[in-house]
Amino acid sequence: MTKIYTKRGDQGETDLFGAGRVTKDDPRVVAYGTVDECNATLGMVRSQLAGEEKLAPIDAILARLQNELFMVGSELAAPGMVAKMPVIKKEQITALENEIDAFTAELPALKHFILPGGTEAAAALHFARTVARRAERFTVCLVRELGARGEVLIYLNRLSDHLFVLARAVNHKSGVTEVEWIPR
C-alpha cells in the first residue's frame, strides 16, 4: 500500500516541480492552492447539477473548466517549466468570452447588482467566482515578481466573470428569480 502522507511537509515546506522546496506560504503555493480551492468548489457545483438534464450543458462547461484550472495550477506552481506542460492559451480565454456572451444574451438585463444566492448550485457558483477573484489577486504577485505568463491572469479574470454569468444562468434555467441589491 502506498501511503498518501510523506511527512515531508510537516515543517511547513513543500516541493515545487522544477523549483525545489519552498515554504507553504510561498506566493506560488498560495496562488495554486487558491486555484485548487476554486476547482474543488466547481466539483461541488457539479455534484449539485447531477441529474439536472436542463443544466447538463453547464455541467459540461464546468468539467472543461476543472481541467483548465489544473493547467493554471500547474503553471503557477512551476512558472519556469511552461515549455514542458500544457498551458492556458488565448483559445481558452476566447472560449470563456464567447460563452459569457452567449449566456448573457439569454438572461434578463442587469439593472441592479444582484445578491449571491438562488439555487444551491448558483450560490456555489457565486462562491467559486469569489475564489477565482482571490486566485487572480494572488496571481498578480506572481506575474509581477516571478514572471508568470499574463495569460493566466487574464484567464482567471475572465473565469470569475464566466462563473458569475453561469450562476445567473443556473438560476434562470431553474426558474429562480435573482434578488437585486437595492440600497435602502
Residues 28-78 have pLDDT tens digits of: 888 999 999 999 999 999 999 999 999 999 999 999 999 999 999 988 887
Q: Quick one: pLDDT band at residue 8, thresholds 50, 70, 90?
A: low
As a whole number, mean pLDDT of residues 15-19 equals: 68
Contacts of residue 123, Cβ cutoff 8 Å, sequence gap at least 6: 116, 117, 167
Number of Cβ atoms within 10 Å of the Cβ of 60: 12
Q: Per the domain annotation, does 94 fall within a domain?
A: yes
Confidence of residue 127 (pLDDT cuts 50, 70, 90): very high
Looking at the domain assignment, is residue 123 inside a domain? Answer: yes
Domain contains 183: no
Domain-embedded: residue 103: yes
In the prediction, which pLDDT does 177 show?
92
- pLDDT at residue 174, rounded to an integer: 95
CA distances from 50 to 37, 38, 59 (A): 20, 19, 8
pLDDT of 14 higher than 80 = no
In a domain, 1, yes or no: no
Q: Domain with 42 in it: what CATH number?
A: 1.20.1200.10
Report residue 97's pLDDT band, with 50, 70 and 90 as the boundaries.
Answer: very high
Residue 18 has pLDDT above 70, yes or no: no
Domain assignment of residue 80, given as a range: 15-176
- Cite the beta strand spans of the chain per DSSP E: 13-16, 20-23, 113-115, 179-181
Q: Is residue 9 part of a domain?
A: no
Number of domains in the chain: 1
Q: How many residues does the chain have?
A: 184
Does 15 have pLDDT greater than 90?
no
pLDDT value, residue 27 = 86
Task: Please state at what angle helix 150-173 crosses helix 56-77, rounded to 10 degrees.
Answer: 160
Residue at 56 is within a domain: yes
Residue 144 lies in a domain: yes
